[in-house]
Structure 1
Amino acid sequence: MSFQQGLSGLNAAAKNLDVIGNNVSNASTVGFKQSQAQFADVYANSLTGAGGSSIGIGVKVAQVAQQFTQGNITSTNNPLDMAINGGGFFRMDNGGEIAYQRNGQFQLDKNGYIVNPTGGKLTGYTANASGVLSTGAPAPLAINTADLTPQATSEVNAVLNLDSTGTALPAASFDMNDPTTYHSSTAASVYDSLGNQHTLQTYYVKTAAGTWNVYAASDGTPIPAAGTPVSTLTFNGSGALTGGGQFTVTAPVTTGANPITAAFDFTGTTQFGSAFSVNTLNQDGYTSGRLAGFNIGADGTILGRYTNGQSAVLGQVVLANFANPNGLQQMGNNLWTETATSGTPLVGTPDSGGLGVLQSSAVEDSNVDLTAELVNMITAQRVYQANAQTIKSQDAVLQTLVNLR
Structure 2
Amino acid sequence: MSFYTSLSGLQAAQTELSAVSHNLANVSTNGFKKSRTDFADVIASSISTDPTKIVGSGVVVKANKQQFTEGNLKTTGAALDLTVAGDGFFAVKTSGLNTSTAYTRNGAFQIDPTTHNIVDAQGSTLLGYPVDAKGNVTASGADGLVPINLPQTSGTPAPTGNVALKVNLYAAASIPTTTFDPANASSYNSSTTSTIYDSSGKASTLTNYYVHTGTDAWTVHSFVGDKELSVGGSTAGTPVTFDASGKITAPTTPVSYDAFTPTTGGVSQTLKFDLAGSTQNSTAFSVNARSSDGSSVGDLSGVTVNSEGMVTATYSNGDTTALGKVALANFSNPAGLRQDGDSYWSASGVSGQASLGSAKENGFGSLLSGTLEGSNVDITEELVALIAAQRNFQANSKALDTSNQITQTIVNLRA
Question: Residue 105 of structure 1 aligns with which residue?
Answer: 108
2:398 partner SS: helix
Question: Residue 38 of structure 2 aligns with which residue?
Answer: 38
Q: CA RMSD in A?
A: 3.7
Question: Residue 23 of structure 1 aligns with which residue?
Answer: 23
C-alpha distance in 2 between matches for 1:386 and 1:43: 20
Question: Residue 299 of structure 1 aligns with which residue?
Answer: 308
1:358 partner SS: strand
C-alpha distance in 1 between matches for 2:338 and 2:44: 31
Q: 1:114 aligns with which of 111, 115, 118?
A: 118
Q: What percent identity do the matched residue pairs reach?
A: 38
Segments of 5+ residues of structure 2 without an aligned counterpart are: 159-166, 170-193, 206-247, 255-268, 272-288
Q: CA deviation at 1:48?
A: 3.5
Query: Aligned AA for 1:105?
Result: A
Query: Aligned AA for 2:352?
Result: G
Q: CA deviation at 1:37?
A: 0.5
**CA distance 1:385–1:147, shift in 2 (3 Å):** same
Question: Residue 70 of structure 1 aligns with which residue?
Answer: 70
**Does residue 326 of structure 1 match 2:329?**
no
C-alpha distance in 2 between matches for 1:124 and 1:346: 14
Q: 1:142 aligns with which of 128, 138, 149?
A: 149
Is contact 1:93–1:99 with CA below 8 Å preserved after alignment?
A: yes
Is contact 2:32–2:343 with CA below 8 Å preserved after alignment?
A: yes
**CA distance 1:97–1:395, shift in 2 (3 Å):** same
**CA distance 1:305–1:354, shift in 2 (3 Å):** same
Q: CA deviation at 1:146?
A: 2.2
**Does residue 356 of structure 1 match 2:365?**
yes
C-alpha distance in 2 between matches for 1:335 and 1:357: 20
Is contact 1:148–1:290 with CA below 8 Å preserved after alignment?
A: no
Any idea what the Cα deviations from partners look like across 1:226-251, whole Å, max 9, x if unmatched?
A: xxxxxxxxxxxxxxxxxxxxxxxxxx
Is contact 2:153–2:315 with CA below 8 Å preserved after alignment?
A: no
1:302 partner SS: strand
Is contact 2:359–2:367 with CA below 8 Å preserved after alignment?
A: yes
Any idea what the Cα deviations from partners look like across 1:204-232, whole Å, max 9, x if unmatched?
A: xxxxxxxxxxxxx9xx9689xxxxxxxxx
Any idea what the Cα deviations from partners look like across 1:276-325, whole Å, max 9, x if unmatched?
A: xxxxx9x9x99443321111111111111122334221111110000100
Question: Residue 88 of structure 1 aligns with which residue?
Answer: 88
Query: Aligned AA for 1:116?
Result: D
Is contact 1:30–1:103 with CA below 8 Å preserved after alignment?
A: yes
Q: 1:393 aligns with which of 398, 402, 412?
A: 402
Is contact 1:286–1:308 with CA below 8 Å preserved after alignment?
A: no
C-alpha distance in 2 between matches for 1:91 and 1:221: 63
Question: Residue 384 of structure 1 aligns with which residue?
Answer: 393
Is contact 2:154–2:319 with CA below 8 Å preserved after alignment?
A: no
Q: How does 1:219-368 map to 2 (within 5 A)?
A: 287-288=295-296, 289-368=298-377
Is contact 1:302–1:315 with CA below 8 Å preserved after alignment?
A: yes
**CA distance 1:313–1:49, shift in 2 (3 Å):** farther
TM-score by length of 2: 0.64
Query: Aligned AA for 1:27?
Result: V
After TM superposition, the structure 1 stretch with the greater mean CA deviation from structure 2, 119-128 or 47-56, is 47-56
Query: Aligned AA for 1:290?
Result: D
C-alpha distance in 1 between matches for 2:101 and 2:13: 36
Is contact 2:86–2:366 with CA below 8 Å preserved after alignment?
A: yes
Q: 1:371 aligns with which of 370, 373, 380?
A: 380
C-alpha distance in 1 between matches for 2:343 and 2:19: 16
**CA distance 1:141–1:221, shift in 2 (3 Å):** farther
Any idea what the Cα deviations from partners look like across 1:1-40, whole Å, max 9, x if unmatched?
A: 4112111111111111000000000011110000001000
Segments of 5+ residues of structure 1 without an aligned counterpart are: 152-175, 179-188, 198-216, 224-254, 258-280
C-alpha distance in 1 between matches for 2:294 and 2:362: 38
**CA distance 1:177–1:86, shift in 2 (3 Å):** closer
Query: Aligned AA for 2:74?
Result: T
Question: Residue 246 of structure 1 aligns with which residue?
Answer: none
